[in-house]
């Protein structure tokens, strides 16, 4: 029998990353940050001079991506071809490029098995856009996390400030809205809740409150 999976899908900045990490820690489960795979594909493209619309070349890059996820005390260190790119992949530019390569079917197919390989005992918390709809349709519990675009821009702003990265709130809001639109309107694996997902609006919830609720729901499912 396959290991249990909790899928957390939703738009960028809804808190999925932090919440997934905390829930995985609490349960002792593995963590899949699927967005990082798209960000890494985009970064690899830049490194190798591949254009963001060259689907066959991007598909090859995605299929042969040399990455390592190293779990550390309060974060995951991410290596691309042996180099630490943990910070570089978090920029808005990398996020934007990621959402472009993520609209290509060939790239998504190339990353599918790699994502499923993260499913090992005792369980997996999978963070992304299509975890419940495409990658793990048989997950134990599927949650779709949302928050208003303004709140998500504000959270991203605070996150960036904390990391010492310069940003403007209004341009972050514009980028978030543009990325939402692209993720929801694309023809392959568009961002939408699975039919059997529970939707949770986190606009006025704290991170510990969300973590609590998710672990309760999971416990109820046995
Ligand atoms: O979650 P994160 O911001 O790291 O994701 C970056 C981009 O990767 C998203 O805007 C989305 O276009 C894409 N993505 C995706 N499917 C996933 C995870 C991320 O298409 N499962």
Is 10 labelled as part of a ligand binding site?
yes
Across 19-36, average pLDDT? 96
Q: What integer pLDDT is reported at residue 154 of this predicted model?
A: 94
Alpha-carbon distance 218 to 220, whole Å?
5
SS3 15: coil
Mutate to test the pocket of ligand 1, among 18, 35, 146 (most ligand atoms within 8 A of CB): 35
End-to-end CA distance of the chain: 15
150-to-156, 162, 175 alpha-carbon distances in Å: 10, 18, 11
ipTM for the predicted complex comes to: 0.98
Ligand 1 neighbourhood includes 39 CB (under 6 angstroms): yes
Cα separation of 198 and 140, whole Å?
Answer: 12
- Compute the distance from residue 94 Cα to the ligand 1 centre, in Å: 10
The whole-number pLDDT of residue 12 equals 84
Q: What is the per-residue pLDDT for 156?
A: 87
Over 90: is that where the pLDDT of 74 sits?
no
Helix (H, G, I), strand (E, B) or coil at 198: strand
Contact 6 CB / ligand 1 (< 6 Å)? no
Q: What is the rounded CA–CA span in Å between residue 33 and residue 127?
A: 5
From the CA of 196, how far away is ligand 1's center (Å)? 21
Q: Tokens 């829930």 correspond to what residue?
A: 23
Q: Which two tokens stand for residue 78?
A: 């991410």
**Rounded to the nearest whole angstrom, what is the distance from the C-alpha of residue 179 to the centroid of ligand 1?**
9
Select the more confidently predicted residue: 216 or 1.
216
- Cβ atoms of 148 and 11 within 8 Å: the answer is no
Cα–Cα distance measured from residue 115 to residue 9, given in angstroms and rounded to the nearest whole number: 14
Coil vs helix vs strand at 200: strand
Average pLDDT, the chain: 94
Predicted confidence (pLDDT) at residue 48 exceeds the cutoff of 90? yes
Tell me: is residue 11 an annotated ligand-binding position.
yes
Give pTM, 2 decimals: 0.93
Q: Specify the higher pLDDT residue, 194 or 15.
A: 194
Separation of alpha carbons 42 and 46, rounded Å? 6
CA geometry: angle at 143 spanning 140 and 147, to 5°? 170
């Amino acid at each position: 029998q396959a290991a249990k999976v909790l899928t957390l899908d939703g738009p960028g900045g809804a808190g999925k990353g932090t919440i997934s990490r905390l829930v995985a820690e609490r349960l002792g489960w593995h963590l899949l940050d699927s967005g990082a795979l798209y960000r890494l594909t985009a970064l690899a493209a830049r490194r190798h001079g591949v254009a963001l619309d060259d689907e066959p070349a991007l598909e090859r890059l995605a299929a042969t991506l040399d990455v390592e996820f190293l779990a550390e005390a309060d974060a995951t260190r991410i290596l691309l071809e042996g180099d630490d790119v943990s910070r570089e992949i978090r920029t808005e530019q990398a996020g934007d490029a990621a959402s472009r390569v993520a609209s290509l079917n060939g790239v998504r197919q190339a990353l599918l098995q790699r994502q499923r390989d993260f499913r090992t005992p005792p369980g997996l918390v999978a963070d992304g856009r299509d975890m419940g709809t495409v990658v793990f349709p048989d997950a134990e519990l599927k949650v779709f996390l949302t928050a208003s675009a303004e709140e998500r821009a504000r959270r991203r702003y605070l996150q960036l400030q904390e990391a010492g990265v310069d940003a403007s709130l209004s341009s972050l809001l514009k980028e978030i809205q543009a990325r939402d639109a692209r993720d929801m309107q694309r023809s392959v694996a568009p961002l939408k809740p699975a039919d059997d997902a529970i939707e949770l609006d986190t606009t006025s919830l704290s991170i510990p409150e969300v973590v609590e609720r998710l672990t309760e729901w999971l416990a109820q499912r046995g």
